[in-house]
A and B are shown apart, each in its own frame.
Chain A
């Protein structure tokens, strides 16, 4: 029994490498077919990586959602400090920062360049501001909104402002892009399936005589199917590797300029090329496409070839 299994596995191994050897006989056509598969898969894989990177940036933005409390001008410094310590005790709050009217004015002068114009004003027009940073674990759209209402109701608070609108828009745009990538992936996977199916169909036609002979001397469908399935496997593996190569090299080309850009925003962002998980999925998916494409072709065409 063990002997039988051993022989069976050995046979599989032989066909495994035999089919590779057959492919290696015409390296150019092997390379071209694999390149088609590789390019078709590189596109959705690359977009997926880009999306992942954008997501990691926008994740930072999420935690950066701050609430600004503009205090009424009548608020005294003591009242402001009281309010500050009150807010600081709230559990949903990560940190608070107080910007007094004087500080606000100084900052405005420094950043706006209207310093001289402000001197013309008799009174400081700016309100004191408390910048509230919600704790990250608490921050989803609804709890943040509730927090804003709560803060709005505090005494001395004129306006509580949360600028989340643009983040929401960014999220919806990313949702659209993500769905687009899913659709694109589906379509290109189908294309890969057809390319491999067609390649295997041609291989079957080329070896028609051999298939007839094997059927005549008692070869089972499984025996005949095996080398074609392994051929599909090799196409898938090679196509996946080419896709990986394309994705990595394109992203490496892009990463320099992108990092220069993010550095100009003083963002600590560093571009993620591709992780082990994503690359394994890419290769695995490609192999699966190769196997199923050849399976479909073999199922369709093997029965048509019968000895007469």
Chain B
């Protein structure tokens, strides 16, 4: 689903955010991406979502070489990548329902379909009762779940999460992670950037560790279990 081969990202000014990173994430696989802040976690996710482009090497997502996607096709690529952010990136002047509906509105779905799919997504994250609420009235954990509902509402094959539990207490963090596990179980590829080592080492998933812009460890799930 995601294949990096010798991918590097150098920002203007000569700062190397990623150097010679290679790995392959199979469809339906769930993995964590960890490392110190500034190690390149966010940059890696940005390359997958085409917020940035690799300076060297190849990034292939869903069988498509991202270097070959022209600017005007980027929106269509992003529709296949559900993204979840640490700061949620919700629209505060719209209800929970309208926030979650946004990707479907963009895709031009009909009113009835939108209603059905939004409620299904909100049901999955346990927020069906809050569809008329405004995000500002929700707790941090609830806001993050709205963000997740929005990311999965159009059923993308790939989910990216950048520090999804960054501002949450351990209890809520585990809850959020179990939501991701549920999506992984139905075949969605999930890549989660997190520096919460305690949390992720207790979960039976592959861990990619970045150090100084390079991939330093690629720990298989079996190793964690033992």
Interface size on A, residues (CB 8 A): 23
Q: How far is the CB of B224 from chain A (nearest CB, A)?
A: 31
The answer to whether A7 touches B108 (Cβ under 8 A) is yes
Query: Is A10 engaged at the interface, CB distance under 8 Å to the other chain?
Result: yes
Q: A10-B111, A11-B108, A210-B91 are in contact. Are A217 and B72 (CB under 8 A)?
A: no
Q: How many A-B residue pairs have CB under 8 A?
A: 56
The answer to whether A217 touches B108 (Cβ under 8 A) is no
In the complex, which residues of chain B have a beta carbon less than 8 angstroms from the beta carbon of A209?
91
Q: How far is the CB of A21 from chain B (nearest CB, A)?
A: 12
- Kindly state the separation between the CA atoms of A37 and B10 in the bound complex, as whole angstroms: 48
Q: How far is the CB of A178 from chain B (nearest CB, A)?
A: 46
Q: A4-B108, A10-B111 are in contact. Are A213 and B75 (CB under 8 A)?
A: no
Q: A213-B89, A213-B91 are in contact. Are A218 and B110 (CB under 8 A)?
A: no
- Kindly state the separation between the CA atoms of A277 and B105 in the bound complex, as whole angstroms: 39
In the complex, which residues of chain B have a beta carbon less than 8 angstroms from the beta carbon of A214?
102, 106
Query: Is B158 engaged at the interface, CB distance under 8 Å to the other chain?
Result: no
- Kindly state the separation between the CA atoms of A215 and B107 in the bound complex, as whole angstroms: 12
Task: Find residues 83-108 in chain B having any chain A CB closer than 8 Å to their own CB.
Answer: 83, 89-91, 102-103, 105-108
Q: Choose one: A6, A8, A218; the contact of B103 (CB below 8 Å).
A: A218
The answer to whether B78 touches A216 (Cβ under 8 A) is yes
In the complex, which residues of chain B have a beta carbon less than 8 angstroms from the beta carbon of A216?
49, 51, 78, 83, 89
| Nearest chain B residue, comparing its CB with the CB of A15 | B105
In the complex, which residues of chain A have a beta carbon less than 8 angstroms from the beta carbon of B111?
10
Q: How far is the CB of A249 from chain B (nearest CB, A)?
A: 38
Q: How far is the CB of A89 from chain B (nearest CB, A)?
A: 78
Query: Is B197 engaged at the interface, CB distance under 8 Å to the other chain?
Result: no
The answer to whether B106 touches A223 (Cβ under 8 A) is yes
Q: How far is the CB of B142 from chain A (nearest CB, A)?
A: 18
The answer to whether A221 touches B105 (Cβ under 8 A) is no
Residues of B within 8 A of A (CB): 49, 51, 72, 75-79, 83, 89-91, 102-103, 105-111, 150-151
A-B contact pairs, 18 of them (CB 8 A): A6-B110, A7-B109, A10-B110, A10-B111, A209-B91, A213-B89, A213-B91, A214-B106, A216-B49, A216-B51, A216-B78, A216-B83, A217-B79, A217-B102, A217-B103, A217-B150, A220-B106, A223-B75
